[in-house]
């Protein structure tokens, strides 16, 4: 009986750790984390300040936020904070 309990406990610990790892990966980043990441990208690309950036929710399917910095730099991001390429709608839209 002893030879069965130790491997069973080890298996349960490994399964629990794996489940926890998968669960943490499934948690979406918060809006603050997304804005901070895009602000850091803006600073690296332009030398501006992170406080130049703000975000607003998007009404576009597949886009969570639109982060803008100083009005001349903008990026649309999905639920995971990845950049989303939007089609060019032209100057009259």
**pLDDT digit string, tens, across residues 22-77:** 887 778 899 999 999 999 999 999 999 999 999 999 988 889 999 999 988 999 99
Task: Flag whether 11 is in a domain.
Answer: no
Number of domains making up the chain? 1
Task: Flag whether 40 is in a domain.
Answer: yes
Task: Flag whether 36 is in a domain.
Answer: yes
Res 93 pLDDT > 50: no
Task: Flag whether 4 is in a domain.
Answer: no
Task: Flag whether 1 is in a domain.
Answer: no
Task: Flag whether 68 is in a domain.
Answer: yes
Task: Flag whether 93 is in a domain.
Answer: no
DSSP label of 27: S
CB 79 within 8 A of CB 61: no
CB atoms within 10 A of CB 77: 22
- 37 lies in which domain range? 28-77
Which residues on neighbouring strands pair with residue 77, listed in sequence order?
Answer: 65, 83
């Amino acid at each position: 009986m002893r030879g069965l309990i130790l491997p069973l406990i080890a298996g349960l610990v490994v399964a629990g750790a794996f489940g926890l790892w998968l669960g943490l990966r499934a948690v979406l980043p918060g809006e603050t984390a997304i804005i901070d990441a895009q602000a850091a990208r803006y600073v690296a690309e332009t030398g501006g300040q992170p406080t130049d950036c703000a975000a607003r929710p998007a009404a576009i399917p597949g886009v969570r936020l639109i982060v803008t910095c100083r009005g001349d730099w903008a990026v649309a991001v999905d639920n995971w904070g990845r950049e989303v390429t939007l089609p060019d709608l032209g100057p009259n839209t």
